[in-house]
Amino acid sequence: MAETERLKVHLVKGENRAQAVVRGQIEVPDAKPDVDKILSKGANTKVRKVSIVPDKVIVEGTLTLQMMYVAFKPDQSVHSMHDEVKFTTFVDVEGAEPGMEHYVEVTVEDVRITPSKGNPRKFDVTAVLSIFVKITEVDELEILISTPPGNEALATEDITVEHLIGEKITKQVIVSEQFDIPEEKPDVEKILDTKAEADITEKKVVANKVIIDGEVSLQVLYVAMEPQQSVHEVHHTIKFSSFVEVPEAQPGMNVQAYAVVEGISVEPVIDPKLTADIVVKLIIFVSETRTLEDVPTILRDEEGFEKIRLKVDREIGSGETQVVVRDTAEVPEAKPDIVKVLEARVDQTEIKETKILQGKVLIKGNIGVEVVYVSAKPDQAVHALHQRHNFSTFVVVPNAQPDMNVKVRVDPEFVSVEQVGIDVHKEVVLKVRANVTEISQPTVYVPGISPTVAPTVTPCPPTPYTVQKGDTLGKIAAANKVTVEMILAINPEITNPDVISVGQVIMIPCPAMG
């Protein structure tokens, strides 16, 4: 008998990449001055909702624009503003069906911001997005792992797959924290908008349980409690830990974990504090790496088996490192000198190049650093300085190979800005993570489903019957569980069904014939 093994795997049902052009309009907030000249612009995206219909994935998201500009007023101070444009687009993915798992990645390839006709405070936005979609489905397969007796394997292959342990686990956690408004920021009168993103920083499998560490990056836009009612922004990171019960999970197994923000509530409490409650949904898959040796991939006789191609995305490994970006340069001529730094942050990160070598991933990119400061001018106006800085590093990922796939994430951990004489010294600490995967498409055999063969009906032969006194065809038919029409069909000599004679021999059909 052929030997098989049952596996539960994440099959890649389809994937595709498409471009979309997003158009919209942004407006300078009331608290901000008019725009004289745009100095820099940036954009990032967030996926709000994904819907799957047959062979198509609909993506709804938000494009967040950031613009730094010279104000149209005598002191020519520099300001920055944020605004959003919502978009809906779709990607054709053959094989996609409602209910399947999805992975969506949206990147901004180009963005243009131009003044709108008729209103100097409005700007038209045109952005080119690249949307990558991968659709997967959990399936259980009975895979042939040895050559059936009497058959011959013309080709075999060692196959490595991730066997899923149990089902997909989801859990909601509430991440809460009370935190101070930075000293350089005014108190909060009214919160205008909040945004949050959740990320898994560490995951660990213990017996029957997965322990998750993560963090939520929170952004709060608010009206200040001051006469000019200016608009300010606060960034804060909240760390959290949780666990999920996964029966049969054991140390050494692999885990895929995702975190999605489902709700945000931020309220001012005792000045200058804010309290935040964020609802995060955790999505967990636990798997065990299994290598099946000498699996038949071509059989001489394929009768009784079905050949299928497995398309599976297998995680090879991940790693992280820290990068320190340092730069010392003069304040640009167009800018006044710095008296006091109010805020410094990384507002943009961009990966320019990734390259996988044996066991490591090389990464090149740049970051945008924004510095808000009190200027050395008589009116002590607040100005902003925005500069980009390059970085390069590598992340060790054992077993990584050049032909594999890699996903890189860069998160700022620390930003420091000081003025040293006429120079500005910046120091930024970045955490760089790389996750390496590969797509495997082995051909395997599964036991075929034998076609259902309708049973052959062999009719029983008719039996003779001698008509008795008082018989009618109706009575004879009822007694033998047949119909009058069936009796007439095999007794053509009966021309009138109401006339039969005592002693006449007629044939009675078998009930199975009906």
pLDDT computed for residue 316 by the predictor: 86
Strands (E), 246-272: 254-268
In the chain, which segments carry CATH 3.10.350.10?
A: 463-513
Could you give the CA distance from residue 470 to residue 467 in angstroms, rounded to a whole number?
A: 9
Backbone angles phi, psi at 475, to 5 degrees: -65, -40
Q: Are 163 and 288 in contact (CB under 8 A)?
A: yes
- pLDDT for 334 equals 67
Residue 46's pLDDT is 86
Q: Are 304 and 287 in contact (CB under 8 A)?
A: no
Q: Which residue in the block uniquely carries the two structure tokens 């034998």?
A: 450
Residue 192: name the closest of 44, 32, 74, 309 by CA. Answer: 32
Which pLDDT belongs to residue 510? 79
Name the nearest CA neighbour of 463 among 446, 439, 480. 480
CA distance 158 to 146: 12
Strand locations in 376-467 (E): 382-396, 405-420, 423-440, 443-447, 463-466
**Residue reference for tokens 């920083």:** 201
437, 491, 436: which is closest to 464 by C-alpha? 491
Please tell me what DSSP assigns to residue 512: G
* Residues β-bridged to residue 328: 425
Low-confidence ranges of the chain (pLDDT < 50): 450-454, 512-514
Beta bridge partners of 246: none
At residue 380, the pLDDT reads 66
Q: Give how far the C-alpha of residue 270 lies from the chain's centroid of Cα atoms, to the nearest Å.
A: 38
pLDDT of residue 347: 76
Angle, CA 46 vertex, CA 54 and CA 106 arms, to 5°: 60
The pLDDT, as a whole number, for residue 514 is 38
- At 385, list the tokens: 């300085």
Q: What is the dihedral of CA 398, 402, 407, 410, to 10 degrees?
A: 70
Contact 401, 426 (CB under 8 A): no
pLDDT at 451: 46
463-513 fold: Membrane-bound Lytic Murein Transglycosylase D; Chain A (3.10.350)
Write the burial class of residue 404 (CB in 10 Å: 0-12 exposed, 13-18 middle, 19+ buried): middle
Angstrom distance (rounded) from CA 3 to CA 5:
7
Question: How far is the CA of 412 from the CAs of 345, 348, 366, 368, 514, in angstroms?
Answer: 8, 10, 12, 11, 82
Single-letter code of the amino acid located at 208: N
For residues 360 and 397, what is the distance between their CA atoms, to the nearest angstrom? 5
Determine how many CB atoms are found less than 10 A away from the CB of residue 175. 23
- Beta strands 423-440 and 312-330, pairing class: antiparallel
Q: Determine the pLDDT at residue 452.
A: 46
Query: SS3 letters for 20-86?
Result: EEEEEEEECCCCCCCEEEEEEEEEEEEEEEEEEECCEEEEEEEEEEEEEEEECCCCCCEEEEEEEEE
- In this structure, are residues 436 and 397 in contact, taking their beta carbons and an 8 Å threshold? yes
Q: Going by C-beta distance under 8 Å and a sequence separation of 6 or more, which residues neighbour residue 234?
A: 181, 182, 185, 219, 220, 222, 274
464 CB-near residues (< 8 Å, 6+ apart): 505, 506, 507, 508
Residue 264, C-beta contacts closer than 8 angstroms, at least 6 positions apart: 194, 195, 196, 218, 276, 277, 278, 279
